[in-house]
Amino acid sequence: MPNQPSVNRGTLILLAPNAIDASISAKNVFFTFQFNPEKLIHSFNQDLPSVSGANTSLESQGLFAELFYLTFELDSLDIESSSQHQSLSDLGLHPALAMLELMTQPQMVGKQTFLPIIIFKWGAKRSIAVRIVSMSVEEKAFDISLNPTSAIVSLSLRVLDAAEINSNPGARNVYSSHQNVKTTLVDVYKLQTGQANVQVAGSNSSLAGSVGVASGAQCKTTVNA
């Protein structure tokens, strides 16, 4: 099994179609950021059409889009120095860029085509099913064979909804866990601001500590307003 990346480094995991779980394996390949982005832009957009009248169904309210925008650097010298296969050190950044390109492309299983589902892992408390909707690469330096050796990559990631990940068990587990974490974080904020008395059911640990549970586990809370 491939080495698991550190939780301190951002990671993109490309899930195999019908993946049982979202762990890194021979089928679920991954890309780890060589240098973490210095910032993330997290945007939410509700496309609300103009509708006369007060009563508006959810179906008529348009699509809700949640996106992440991030930019990071790649340097072939650092990749090659840490590589377990020094004989492959004359390719520059081509392998890393090829892996990122793979994550944007549909997957074929037999005669079926599946849109890619990627797990964006950013620290212990953010693991989200996304799709790369745009990628731009600025190649800044090259070796004597014109292999890129330094590049800046910009990605736009769209968070997938429940319907889009329904056919992939691994993605469903990640989605469920992420929703639980968000609910618990809201409860933490209510507790911090005196809006609620929140206790972790069946445990004496603090609510804030419960947010750090492993992916897939469910946090059970009771809220007394």
Q: Are residues 29 and 59 in the same domain?
A: yes
What b-and-e string marks burial along 25-57, b requiring 16 or more CB atoms within 10 Å of the CB?
beebbbbbbbebbeeeeeeeeeeeeeeeeeeee
**pTM to 2 decimals?**
0.80
Looking at the fold, whether 46 and 67 belong to one and the same domain comes out as yes
pLDDT, tens only, 5-54: 777 889 999 999 989 999 988 899 999 998 999 999 999 987 655 555 54
Note whether 109 and 196 are same-domain residues: no
200 belongs to a structural domain? yes
- pLDDT for the residue 25: 87
Q: Which parts of the chain register pLDDT below 50?
A: 54, 56, 58-60, 200-205, 213-225
Pairing of strands 118-121, 11-14: antiparallel
- What pLDDT sits at residue 50? 53
77 within some domain: yes
